[in-house]
Amino acid sequence: MKKTIYSTLSLTVAFSLMLSGCAKSDSQTSPSPAAANTASSAVPKKAVKLKMWGGIPEESGPKDVVTKWNSTHPDIQVEYTRYVNDDSGNTKLDTALISNSDAPDIFFSYGETNYNRRANAGVTFPLDDLISKYKFNVDDIIGKDNVVPFKGKTHYLPAMKLLSSVMINQTALEKAGEKIPAQGWTWDDYMTLAEKLQTAAQKGSFIKVPDDNMVRFAILENKPVDSYYTADGLSTFDSPAVKKGLEYQKALQDKGLSVKWPEIIANKLLPPNELLTGKAAMIFGGTHLLRNVKDTKSFPHEFKTIFAPVPQLEKGGKVNTAGFNDFMSINNTSSNKDEAFQFISWYLTEGNLLMIPGGRLPSSKKIDVDKVTELMVGDAANLINADSLKSLIKGDYTFPVQTISTALPEMTKIINEETEKYVMGVQPLDKAIQNMKTRADQAIKAEKK
């Protein structure tokens, strides 16, 4: 059974701050009340300094956010530290929170797995009293159903709505004589389109395995809430959706519509590079890749990129495999919780608008779609199909929500390993499904011990 760094430390997280209201005079005699009042009015109030950790590069929005806030809130100054959102970066943040050594007051968690680990460790502060105190209307701004409680309390607020998307080279699509896919198209439609887009010089599809793969997509679309778990707490890995996902993934490789699985991993191939260098006509990506599309220095190209909806297992479905993210929490041991929440409430209603040009769509329901699209496109109208992007943003979606995370990292690893063996012809379909189910159930049982 895998153990997190919290296994032995989470129970020891506690407040150790001591507040002292005493001050000593430099003089042996006490000043008169008038003198004291004069002295206190002459000394400016010291600004509260908030430390905030996030995974987004400063130049992609956080620097503008912090500059804007600091210029209008001299009494509360924010300092941003970037941690890389990978295993080592998340461990760095976890260690800072647990040890309370140079720990942030505010921190972002990316994805339910990272957030759930920190909530279970006791390092996230319940926000409910602050939400009430500062009259922050969660339902009106974000939607209460888009925030998952932890033990009946709100321990985070999502700052971003990430939209997954199939991104298509518009020139390639037009040459193939095809139209932009509409919401509700299927993975069968995707496979057909990939074949039509395929040329001798350009693959019809690219999906970055193992992080993204069609088995995972199928599992999420089949059961958006707690996708990996049955009602009795075991895995859903023997569902018909898993079988379909495996078949789609293998067909991509067998038909030559994509770079082979091991080559993607060995060469560390990335979706924006494959699309924007013309190696693939269609990739699985999302709004977060807008900054790459606009980066003509790294990716010189002239074609427009289309943002199409995510294909569905069944025609007419509306699951978007991304959802709400950029979970903002306050450190349980922060001595500046009120000030931290004031910043969070501002960020969620105003500050994160400065993150839009970098491709981060605000979580607020009050956004002006036309204005957001305009900001996202910016001066790259010649590189982005704005109408498709606007349609994607306006779409009505069901987002996956994972309230359970028992053995989730291990289950993700199992999906990847057994899928790879099937795709590479090492094991047959039935064996891949059997292995997935057996190993996942064992991992869940081991974690619960």
Domain-embedded: residue 1: no
Confirm if 422 and 432 have CB atoms less than 8 A apart: yes
Same domain, 436 and 298: yes
Does residue 377 lie in a domain region? Answer: no
Q: Is residue 215 part of a domain?
A: yes
Query: Residue 29 domain-assigned?
Result: no
Q: Round to whole Å and give the CA distance between 275 and 166.
A: 11
131 located within any domain: yes
Q: Which domain holds residue 440?
A: 164-320+398-448
Give the pLDDT confidence score for residue 9 in this predicted structure.
35
pLDDT for the residue numbered 44: 57
| 289 shares a domain with 426 | yes
CATH number of the domain bearing residue 315: 3.40.190.10
Q: What pLDDT, on a 0 to 100 scale, did the predictor assign at position 200?
A: 96
Q: Do 424 and 287 share a domain, yes or no?
A: yes
| Statement to judge: residues 240 and 331 lie in one domain | no
In a domain, 243, yes or no: yes
Indicate whether 207 and 295 sit together in one domain: yes
pLDDT, residue 27, reads: 35
Same domain? For 212 and 276 the reply is yes
256 and 111 in a common domain: no
Q: Is residue 3 one of the residues assigned to a domain? A: no
Amino acid at position 200, single letter: A
Q: Which residues contact 132 (CB under 8 A, 6 or more apart)?
A: none
What is the domain count for the chain? 2
The answer to whether 159 and 347 are in contact (CB under 8 A) is: yes
Asked whether residue 145 falls in the same domain as residue 231, the answer is no
Whether residue 413 sits in one domain with residue 305 = yes
pLDDT at 184: 94
Compute the distance between CA of residue 30 and CA of residue 245 in angstroms, rounded to an integer: 78
Say what the pLDDT of residue 11 is: 32
Instruction: Looking at the structure, tell me whether residues 413 and 357 fall in a common domain.
Output: no
Closest CA to 79 of 94, 92, 62, 93: 62
Q: What is the pLDDT of residue 31?
A: 42
- Identify the segments of the chain with pLDDT beneath 50: 1-43
What is residue 45's predicted lDDT score, i.e. its pLDDT? Answer: 75
State whether 340 and 417 are in the same domain: no
Q: What is the pLDDT of residue 401?
A: 87
Residues 267 and 148 in one domain: no
pTM over 0.85: no
Q: How far apart are CA 449 and CA 435, in angstroms?
A: 21
Domain presence at residue 190: yes
Q: Of 441, 286, 306, which is closest to residue 386 (Cα–Cα)?
A: 306
